[in-house]
Structure 1
Amino acid sequence: MDWTDRVLELEVGPVAHGGHCVARHEGRVLFVRHAIPGERVRAVVTEDQGGSFCLADTISVLEASPDRVPAPCPWARAGGCGGCDFQHVTPPAQRALKTAVLREQLTRLGGLTGGLADTVEVEELPGGPLGWRQRLRLAVDDEGRAGLRAHHTHEVVPISDCLLAPAGLLDDLLERRWRPGDEIEVAVDVRGERHLGAGVPPAERSASVQHAAGRDWELSPGAFWQVHPELADTLVEVVREWAAAPGGGTAWDLYGGVGLFAAVLAEQVGPRGSVTVVESARQAVADGERALRDLPQVAFRVGRVERVVTGLPDPTVVVADPPRKGLGRTMVDELCARAPERIVYVACDPAALGRDVKLFADRGYALAALRSFDAFPMTHHMESVALFRPADRS
């Protein structure tokens, strides 16, 4: 029986990865948005593909959690914008939910018991839960109006603001009419200036400047940079501490973008060492070469990481910041076969991190340290940094 559009009364169970909580009804599992563990809610089924589970969205709360608060944004609701998962939850409770998800992924997928899987906490970054988002992408509906996508669909929700972005950033962009189907890239730089990328006429596009690792980075329109203003330097400091690349050593910065971590590694290996940045985006490499032209020990290679590294000399230290899917078996096998002393792994998805923790363990590398940061308040996302070392030295 298809449960789509059916309204159910549910007892809400634990949080699940993806911004949902788990509930059960008549032998089936429901992943429920806009709920909190321990609540009793009415929810409408939004998607049912006929399997053992379906998706639902809370439409009324019968028994509320003490962690529930009014969502500050009117579009953070059932049928609204899909960007925020936890606006109805106090910020400390949001971090507790993310911590529970991270620990569960490390245990279930990573095979860890005790230790870091029981003690890691998702840490708060300065700046508060609103106004932090430095980069976002607006979608354009069939009528040319810019907005944000609804959860799990391509539907565009027209909005009058986004509270995660700095105040006033989007005002005129939301009033304009755009070409249907386009996406508009918007970024804020270190000076608070707005820059536009894809989706706008070339004459309106401009490079932005960010600051991290003690230097300025001039970024081409659309170039990747961390969305939270405090995250880049936070990651830099963790990488600096955990990489500990020796003077004269050989370091890799994989999926390196403009070379943010390469700047740190170059300081550590010094002029007698070498740092190789591997990145597939040519424009990011051009930006990075310009920013790091004072560091001759840094070399950029353009291409797919799994192909380029096969021709590189063995590293002493590796820093890897892969896409959301993680490293995967092929890359973990390649890295471990090269026997680096340390692997510092920046992960934006706890499930991918959990899977890779298990792969590293199978190849003799243990998780030696782990930190995680609430770099995306009001959403289910987090950013983690893991240190792997050979099991006999960790």
Structure 2
Amino acid sequence: MLLNSELKVIRWDYRMADNILEIKLQEDDDKLQKMLSSKGIEKRVILRTCNRLEIYFHDDAKFSENELENAELLKDEHAIRHLLRVSSGLESMSIGEQEILRQIKEAFDLAHKQGRTDKFLSMIFQKALKVGKEVRETTEISHGKVSIPSIMIEQIEKKGLLNSSTIGVIGTGKMAATVVKYLKKKPSVKITIYGRNEEAGSELSHLFKVNFRKTLDIGNIVEECHVIVTATSSKTPLITRELIEKIPRKLLFIDISNPKNIEESYSNPNVELINLEMANQILQENRKRKEKDIEVAETIIDRELRKIYSKLAEGEIEGYIASIYSRSKDILSDEIEKFSRAIENGTEEREALELLGNSIVNKVLAPETLTLKKMVREGKTESVREFLDSAMKFTDRELYSSSEDHKENQSQQVQNHQLYQKP
């Protein structure tokens, strides 16, 4: 990987077992930020959604086993490719999900506002957003029902329960808000949001112009609704088997919570339950239908990944060349002072000039000369030979054989100097 450009990502997502993601998502954000700062990770972007928690950075940091327990750590190309796949909707629970692009942009914008981004992270995330947009414009990967809420609402519609039905949404978070947003597209549905967080519930109620009730009295909610959607982060089930078995009429439960909010092991023919586990078949069918779109998306990602590495390489080479010119000017300045002192001390001008010239040549070429010799000792002869073959084409005689070549070299020196002077 190129120096100072090693992207890393620590990730937890919906594919992890034993509610690992849920535990991480419930951790205090300030605590996470302090932990990262304590590791010297000042430049970072944290992507937090209902189904993933990912930390992108490129600082060197050491973590204990406890800090990275159950996490996956990706580096270099694997990390960049992962971000491009996430932005393209290939890493989502529902393939082609649209919402993730907005979430990535919001995560980056927040990090930028907090002063936690730099040129490298900005370039990578802007590229990811561009790739995500291109994949959706080039393919049909995001056509149809692609989000979990929209898929679940489609199931409600198939059962004929979106006409003059009362639907209760338990929860006041982002997932609950998304559910309400989709339900609002069905004008004949009466929607009520239920939850204990009065501030968040009132905000959603005002935003979508629906009812809000500050309660989690499940018995009353069951009596009032034909369909109940649970979308909370509760660690324990809100709706128990015992309660479900007492329901005397037809009722549909939609559980899009993780962990599950509704117990499954009940016996009541009046009640039907659809949860994320049961929706998995729908998700797999969607993925199968979009196999060709996925292939196109992977091709776009491969192409843009090559461009990223090319840009990183170009930037690093320009920086290195700028450092050579800067180092050479420092050497020249030092040698001129030595030359002046030598003349003052009576050294012949010709001798002093030869000393100055030899010293400059040796000091300027020393790092590259020693590096080439080291590469040969390490058996990297093919790389050395390739470099020498290219370098020999630009000897002084050939480089200055035309005025155009000379102008080009001068221009390069000016560009490198300007580049080095940038903050």
TM-score normalized by the length of structure 2: 0.34
Q: Greater CA radius of gyration, 1 or 2?
A: 2
Q: Which has the higher strand share?
A: 1
Q: Which has the higher helix share?
A: 2
TM-score normalized by the length of structure 1: 0.36
